[in-house]
């Protein structure tokens, strides 16, 4: 099984992956952690506008690794936002072509709660603590395609 996690920054994807899915045996693949390992902290060690250029080769690597794990029969959790419907469809297709099955887990969180979480998280310096301002979060909302009719399952805030 491949768990495809969908949600904005701060919605709980990594927490769910590390507390529920990894302990159950799934291998977690995190694009953000690999980008951080190679390039440092978003908006601190490199300008925010460079993120997508730095992320692109990591996504290719993660796609290859995911396909290998699926072909080997390993459960995988893709810890990546999957903000765009077209991206979600590409990952689902990759999983199916590698012989796997997917579950699309969506983490909807109200904006005020995301802001509260991000204020706390902005104080950290780890790979999963991208500094996000309120205006950046507004931009994220504008670019996010809410999954509807894509086979998504809702993971409610506070349910894990």
pLDDT at 135: 77
Q: What domains are there in the chain, each with its CATH number?
A: 2-154 (3.40.50.300)
Structure tokens at 102: 């997917």
Judge whether residue 23 has pLDDT over 90: yes
Q: Return the minimum-mean-pLDDT range out of 12-16, 66-70, 128-132.
A: 128-132
Give pLDDT, residue 77: 98
pLDDT one-digit tens code per residue, 108-129: 989 888 888 777 665 655 545 5
Distance in angstroms between the alpha carbons of the first and the last residue of the chain: 19
Mean pLDDT across the stretch 49-64?
Answer: 94
pLDDT at 95: 98
pLDDT, averaged across the chain: 89
Note the pTM of the prediction, 2 decimals: 0.86
């Amino acid at each position: 099984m491949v768990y495809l996690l969908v949600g904005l920054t701060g919605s709980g994807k990594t927490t769910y992956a590390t507390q529920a899915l990894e302990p159950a045996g799934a291998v977690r693949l995190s694009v953000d952690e690999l980008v951080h390992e190679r390039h440092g902290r978003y908006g601190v060690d490199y300008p925010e506008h460079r993120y997508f250029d730095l992320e692109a080769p990591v996504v290719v690597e993660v796609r290859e690794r995911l396909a290998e794990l699926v072909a080997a029969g390993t459960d995988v959790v893709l810890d990546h936002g999957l903000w765009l419907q077209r991206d979600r469809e590409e990952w689902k297709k990759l999983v199916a072509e590698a012989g796997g099955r997917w579950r699309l887990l969506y983490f909807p969180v109200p904006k005020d709660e995301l802001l509260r979480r991000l204020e706390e998280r902005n104080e950290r310096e780890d790979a999963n603590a991208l500094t996000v301002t309120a205006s950046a979060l507004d931009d994220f909302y504008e670019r996010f395609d809410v999954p509807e009719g894509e086979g998504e399952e809702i993971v409610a805030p506070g349910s894990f």
